[in-house]
C-alpha cells in the first residue's frame, strides 16, 4: 500500500507548490510553517484538489478520507446522532469513543469546537480507511483530548496516516517525517534515523537532540522520556 506523488505542481496567486515522494504504510508527519502549503498538499493527497501538473498514484488504497482543519466544515446534518449516521457509524460506539455519551439528540451546532473535533475524529478513527489525511488534528483540543487522539493513532500502523501539523508536543509514534518549505515538499526521512539531519527542527527538538542524543522518536512519550533523561 503506497501513495506516490510525481512532480506535482500547483500555482495560484503568487504561491507555488511542488511535491514528489512516496508515502508508505505507517504514520507520517507533514510539518512546516503556517502558509507553507501543507493544507493544499493535504487536499491533493486526499484527491479533492487536482494538481496543475504531475501525477498522484495510489497502490492498494481502496478507501481514503481527508479531515479538514476545522470540524465545522464537516457538518452536513442537524443533530449529533444524524452526523454520526452520516459517516455510517453506530452512534453509541462513536459517542463512547469520543467521551460524549448521552449527547445523541443534541443540536450539532451546540457542541463546542473541542467536542465537535472529538466527535469528528472518533468517526474517522472508527472508519476503515486505507489512507487518512488529518489536517491539524490537535487544533482546538485540550491536552487530555490530544493524548486521546495520539494514543489511538500510535496503535495504528496498518494503513497510511498523514498528520499535517506544526504542533509537535503531543504527537503519536511517527514513522516518517516530511516538511513543507516555501511550497516545496522535503522528505526528511524515517524517524528516528533522520532526526539529527532535520535542519529546521523546532527549538524543543533541537534542544533535546543537543542534550540527549538518544531521542528515539517524536511521540510525546519519546519527548517526555528525553526530558527526564536530561534532568536525571
Partner 1 sequence: MQDPRIRLGGVLLLSIVSFLSLTGALLTMLWWVICTDHKTSFGDLKTAVMVFILPCIAAVATQLSGGDGVSYLIRISVVLVIASWAYSKRYPGELLDVSVWLLGKTYGFDLGLVGEMSISTTEILADEFRRTRIALSQKGQKLTGSNLPPVIASLLVRQLRLARERACVLAIHGYQGGGSLCPAFVTSSTDIAAGTFCVLIFAVSLIV
- How far is the C-alpha of 18 from the C-alpha of 229, rounded, in Å? 39
Which is closer to partner 1, CB of 18 or CB of 69? 69
- Quick one: which of 1, 4, 6, 72 contacts partner 1 (CB under 8 A)? 72
CB of 3 vs partner 1, minimal distance in Å: 17
Verify binding: residue 73, partner 1, rule CB under 8 A.
yes
Verify binding: residue 77, partner 1, rule CB under 8 A.
yes
- How far is the C-alpha of 26 from the C-alpha of 136, rounded, in Å? 18
The three-state secondary structure class of 96 is helix
Verify binding: residue 6, partner 1, rule CB under 8 A.
no
Which is closer to partner 1, CB of 72 or CB of 106? 72
- How far is the C-alpha of 51 from the C-alpha of 16, rounded, in Å? 11
Q: How many residues does the chain have?
A: 232
- Quick one: which of 7, 11, 16, 76 contacts partner 1 (CB under 8 A)? 76
Kindly state the DSSP code that residue 79 receives in the 8-state scheme: B
H helical segments located in the chain: 38-45, 80-86, 91-98, 113-125, 143-154, 203-211, 220-230
- Quick one: which of 66, 131, 153, 226 contacts partner 1 (CB under 8 A)? 66
Which is closer to partner 1, CB of 42 or CB of 217? 42
Verify binding: residue 43, partner 1, rule CB under 8 A.
yes
Verify binding: residue 74, partner 1, rule CB under 8 A.
yes
Verify binding: residue 11, partner 1, rule CB under 8 A.
no
User: Cβ(214)–Cβ(226) under 8 Å?
Assistant: yes
User: Cβ(10)–Cβ(52) under 8 Å?
Assistant: yes
Nearby residues of 28 by Cβ (< 8 Å), 6 or more positions away: 160, 161, 162, 163, 174, 175, 176, 177, 178
- Quick one: which of 87, 148, 178, 198 contacts partner 1 (CB under 8 A)? 87
CB of 227 vs partner 1, minimal distance in Å: 37
Binding map of partner 1 across residues 160-179, x = CB under 8 A, - = no contact: --------------------
* Site residues (vs partner 1, CB under 8 A): 43, 48, 65-66, 68, 72-78, 82, 86-88, 108-109
Amino acid at each position: 500500500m503506497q501513495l506516490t506523488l510525481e512532480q506535482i505542481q500547483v500555482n495560484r496567486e503568487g504561491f507555488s507548490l511542488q511535491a514528489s515522494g512516496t508515502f508508505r504504510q505507517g504514520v507520517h508527519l507533514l510539518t512546516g510553517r503556517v502558509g507553507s502549503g501543507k493544507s493544499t498538499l493535504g487536499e491533493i493527497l486526499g484527491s479533492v484538489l487536482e494538481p496543475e501538473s504531475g501525477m498522484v498514484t495510489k497502490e492498494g488504497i481502496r478507501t481514503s478520507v481527508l479531515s479538514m482543519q476545522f470540524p465545522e466544515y464537516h457538518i452536513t446534518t442537524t443533530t449529533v446522532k444524524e452526523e454520526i449516521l452520516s459517516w455510517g457509524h453506530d452512534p453509541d460506539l462513536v459517542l463512547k469513543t469520543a467521551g460524549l455519551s448521552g449527547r445523541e439528540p443534541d443540536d450539532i451546532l451546540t457542541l463546542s469546537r473541542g467536542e465537535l473535533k472529538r466527535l469528528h475524529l472518533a468517526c474517522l478513527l472508527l472508519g476503515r480507511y486505507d489512507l487518512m489525511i488529518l489536517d491539524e488534528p490537535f487544533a482546538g483540543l485540550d491536552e487530555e483530548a490530544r493524548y486521546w487522539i495520539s494514543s489511538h493513532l500510535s496503535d495504528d500502523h496498518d494503513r497510511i496516516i498523514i498528520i499535517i501539523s506544526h504542533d509537535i508536543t503531543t504527537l503519536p509514534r511517527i514513522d516518517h517525517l516530511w516538511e513543507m518549505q516555501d511550497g516545496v515538499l522535503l522528505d526528511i526521512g524515517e524517524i528516528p534515523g533522520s532526526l539529527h539531519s532535520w535542519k529546521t527542527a523546532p527549538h524543543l527538538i533541537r534542544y533535546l537532540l543537543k542534550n540527549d542524543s538518544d531521542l528515539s522518536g517524536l511521540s510525546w512519550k519519546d519527548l517526555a522520556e528525553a526530558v527526564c533523561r536530561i534532568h536525571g
